[in-house]
Amino acid sequence: MDVPELLESASLLVPEETATENDITVRDIWDYLVHDEWEIALGLLEELGDGRSLPLAFWEKLADAAEQLRLERSAAWCHWRCSEIRHGVIRADLTLRSAAEARRTTAISGAGVLRPMWDIGHLSPTGGRAVSIASLWVEDMPYLEPGGRATVRLVPLTPSHWTHLQPGQQIAMHEDRTVAGTAVILEVHRPATAMPAG
């Protein structure tokens, strides 16, 4: 499919009553599509999708359209949302340790590139700490500096390891043996049940 077809197809998966914070609806997006304003339509569809739970096919179509438009961050975000649906997502308030306290001296990318280890309370068979891996996306920021604080989204590599987490729990981020940051769980969303791709 070409970009207009992908965006039209994705828009059909959004319930008509859905609106952005600025009261933009699918009908408004159709006006942008009619005038070949594909980049604007894509951004507004992403915004509509962020406000509610939409099917995997919606995000797959947006990811494909973003790739064809060569919008790297947008494509990364849409692929990320696909991962959230497949593996679940944990939103948390993360505080990185400062460069003086931890080994990291550079900012981390906010776009889901980093896959740190997390101490989420599991023990190894020998009684030591066991860590689980989750990719990290920083909300509303391109990167997070050492010592910085932000709301993050975690997509677990092995979702079954994370089922015990509840809002309010604290977990520790590791990039090596030392603690790189601490996070307080805000929300836990389980993986969606198997959904057919569109």
pTM: 0.88
pLDDT of residue 198: 40
Q: What is the pLDDT confidence band of residue 179, given thresholds at 50, 70 and 90?
A: very high
**What tens digit of pLDDT does each residue of 183-193 get?**
999 999 999 76
pLDDT of residue 20: 82
Once rounded to an integer, what is the mean pLDDT over residues 80-109?
A: 94
Once rounded to an integer, what is the mean pLDDT over residues 133-157?
A: 96
Report the range of poorest mean pLDDT among 38-47, 49-58, 78-87, 187-196. Answer: 187-196
Q: Which of 131, 127, 123 is nearest to 171 (CA)?
A: 131
Percentage of the chain exceeding pLDDT 90: 78
**Does the pLDDT value for residue 109 go beyond 50?**
yes
Phi, psi of 168 (to 5 degrees): 100, -20
**Does the pLDDT value for residue 122 go beyond 80?**
yes
**What tens digit of pLDDT does each residue of 46-57 get?**
999 987 789 999
Topology at the third CATH level for domain 88-189: Elongation Factor Tu (Ef-tu); domain 3 (2.40.30)
> Residue type for 172, please?
A
**Does the pLDDT value for residue 65 go beyond 80?**
yes
Q: What is the pLDDT confidence band of residue 197, given thresholds at 50, 70 and 90?
A: very low
Q: Are strands 170-174 and 117-119 parallel, antiparallel or unpaired?
A: antiparallel
Domain boundary assignment for the chain? 3-86, 88-189
Q: What angle do CA 88, 152, 23 make, to 5 degrees?
A: 85
pLDDT of residue 192: 79
Q: Which two tokens stand for residue 62?
A: 């947006």
Q: Are 173 and 33 in contact (CB under 8 A)?
A: no
pLDDT of residue 52: 74
